[in-house]
Amino acid sequence: MALGQQNRYTTVQRPHAIDQGAIDVGLRQYMLGVYNYMATGLAISGLVAWIIANVPAVRSIFYTTVDGQVVGLSGLGMIGVFSPLILLFAANFVARTGKASTVQALYWAFVALQGISLSVLLQVYTGASVVRVFFITAAAFAGLSLYGYTTRRNLSAFGSFLLMGLIGLLLAAIVNIFLLSDMLQFVISAAGVLVFAGLIAYDTQAIKETYREDMDSETLTKTSVFGALQLYISFLNLFQFLLYFLGNRE
């Protein structure tokens, strides 16, 4: 307590306190921008998915139907499902040389196209269960991201472990395309929940640490968009894995 009182009257400490306060305000604004990009992206994806699933004229473009029943994705639907991967590679390239406006455009295109993949879930699960699991995921995300933002523990040590988990999930998913094993799918989904829960906390801390007070607006915007993209992908994957456990099928 005495030390705190001395610091109040030590002129050397005051500029540091002012600078730290400015950094804190800037950091909060930066993180708010990241969350706004992410939330808007989720809203766009959800809207696109709902339109495709509920407007017959639009659904017929992306799905093949027989007697009004969906039997699979159309050629355009398949292109739409895989095209976000191309945009991810493009965004990584543009991040080095492109303008912030280009990065933003790629992000909005990515989340809109991702709505095609999400519309598949609306064909498989009831709308009520999708909404319920979405809010469960949102609550889990809020808690995990808050932990990543506030914890003093360095989470970077978990990076290699989480990367290995992602690779394992990808390989297992490819194998299960051929095996079609319910047990393996259960294991993949359980592991997926753990991996992406960890990634939300890990990415939040990593995004927080990328902030610098002297960032120019162009760099700040690009960094915010990429931070939002990381959280968006982790949120969506966590949502889909939780849906496997908690969703009610049509």
pLDDT averages per 10-residue partition of the chain, 250 residues: 39 44 81 97 98 93 84 91 90 84 95 96 94 97 97 92 95 94 95 97 96 88 95 97 93
User: What three-state secondary structure class fits 248?
Assistant: coil
Domain of 235 in residue numbering reads as 2-246
Q: Which of 113, 81, 87 is nearest to 225 (CA)?
A: 87
pLDDT for 227: 96
pLDDT for 233: 97
**Contacts made by residues 110-114, CB under 8 angstroms, sequence distance 24+:** 110/41, 110/84, 110/229, 111/41, 111/42, 111/44, 111/45, 111/232, 112/44, 112/45, 112/48, 113/48, 113/80, 113/83, 113/84, 113/87, 114/45, 114/48, 114/84, 114/236
* Domain total in the chain: 1
AA letter at 45 = S
pLDDT for 16: 44
**From CA 61, how far away is CA 71, in angstroms rounded?**
13
Q: Which of 159, 234, 228 is nearest to 200 (CA)?
A: 234
pLDDT for 67: 73
Give the CA distances from residue 149 to residues 36, 71, 201, in Å, rounded to whole numbers and listed in that order: 16, 44, 7
pLDDT for 20: 59
Which are the contacts of 149, defined by CB distance < 8 A and separation ≥ 6? 31, 204, 205, 208
**From CA 237, how far away is CA 197, in angstroms rounded?**
9
